[in-house]
Amino acid sequence: MRRAVKLVASMALLSLGLFWWLTAPSYLSSVEAQSLLGDGDVSRGEIVFNAGGCASCHATPGDTDRRKLGGGLRLKTNFGTFVAPNISSHKLDGLGAWSTVDLANAMQRGVSPKGEHYYPAFPYTTYAHARPEDIRDLMAYLRTLPAVEGRASDHELPPPFNVRRGLGLWKALYLEKGPIAEDSSKSVEWNRGHYLVEALAHCAECHSPRDVFGGIVKSMRYAGGPDPEGKVFLPNISGKNFASWSKDEVLDLLETGMTPDDKVGGSMADVVKNMAALPKSDRDAMAEYLKSLPAVDGPVKPPKK
């Protein structure tokens, strides 16, 4: 009996140790961290800020100044309610005391300066492909924005989703690291659009269905599906839909929110504010890339009740 108890205890400790090892936070390498050194370009950082949609989640709800990033937006999902944090320049409540490497670890590894995993409601699976100079420029811009006092409330998540350590396993399945490779067979404009859409604008994060663990279903990337809050059914933006649109119509969507038949609303209306603030050349590039996406069939839209 004593030997059996020891065996069970040993197996439990071994399992716990294996879990702890598999779920350990991963950080940027020293070489990657070195590439972030230097002063960023504030004007280019503003472009990254808008392309990445930072204000859409982190702007203080109810404040008309989108530069005030006090957080507090609540996102209700099947896993619980996530609350966007304060990312203003406040030294205690925001990112004012962070280094550029801290920001890069958050955006590209989903890890906080304290070594805790971030939940993928923060789209680091997309930002993981951003270039070091863009993160450096973004940090330079964030440091120019107003400091907003006050921390956002904690996430409201039931067990087991409130155990952050388990996100290490989720990342092993869904976090793909590395830069966006350029395609030499494509135009400069297409490659710029590819980078913006796939590394910063995170279009696939909303316009793709997700599996039971909350990861994007790769075979239906850009094929639309229910939004995380279950309020609307997001459209298919692959070639299944956009093939019938002209490039000018895609541009109009990005700049004004107008579609060939209607005008976007909800969270997409806020995304359009970000896109409209980009240089026209970047919107052109995004439209060029989006128009090139292959046609993909997605989930069937449920009938209206």
Q: Per-residue pLDDT for the chain (305 aa), expressed as one digit of tens each? A: 666 656 656 665 665 666 556 788 999 999 999 999 999 999 999 999 999 999 999 999 999 999 999 999 999 998 999 999 999 999 999 999 999 999 999 999 999 999 999 999 999 999 999 999 999 999 999 999 999 999 999 999 999 999 999 999 999 999 999 999 999 999 999 999 999 999 999 999 999 999 999 999 999 999 998 887 667 888 999 998 888 899 999 999 999 999 988 888 888 899 999 999 999 999 999 999 999 999 999 888 777 66
Judge if 199 and 115 occupy the same domain: no
Judge if 278 and 217 occupy the same domain: yes
**Residue 236 is encoded by which pair of tokens?**
């298919």
The pLDDT value recorded for residue 6 is: 60
Distance CA 237, CA 268 (A): 13
3-state DSSP assignment of residue 233? strand
**Residue 290 is encoded by which pair of tokens?**
């989006």
Judge if 134 and 253 occupy the same domain: no
Q: How long, in residues, is the chain?
A: 305
Q: How far is CA 80 from CA 124, 151, 228, in A?
A: 19, 19, 10
Judge if 59 and 175 occupy the same domain: yes
How far separated are the first and last CA of the chain, in Å rounded?
Answer: 60
The pLDDT value recorded for residue 22 is: 74
Using the structure block, give the residue that is written with the tokens 């996100």: 167
Structural domain boundaries enclosing 243? 191-305
Q: Which of 179, 210, 241 is the last residue of a domain?
A: 179
Judge if 145 and 218 occupy the same domain: no
Amino acid letter, 87? I
Judge if 170 and 97 occupy the same domain: yes
Judge if 55 and 155 occupy the same domain: yes
Q: Which of 159, 179, 199 is the last residue of a domain?
A: 179
**Residue 161 is encoded by which pair of tokens?**
């989703």
Q: Is residue 14 part of a domain?
A: no
Contact 281, 255 (CB under 8 A): no
Strands (E), 146-303: 225-226, 233-234
Using the structure block, give the residue that is written with the tokens 């949609």: 53
Strands (E), the chain: 74-77, 80-83, 225-226, 233-234
Q: Which of 134, 150, 179 is the last residue of a domain?
A: 179
Distance CA 136, CA 133 (A): 5
Q: Is residue 10 part of a domain?
A: no
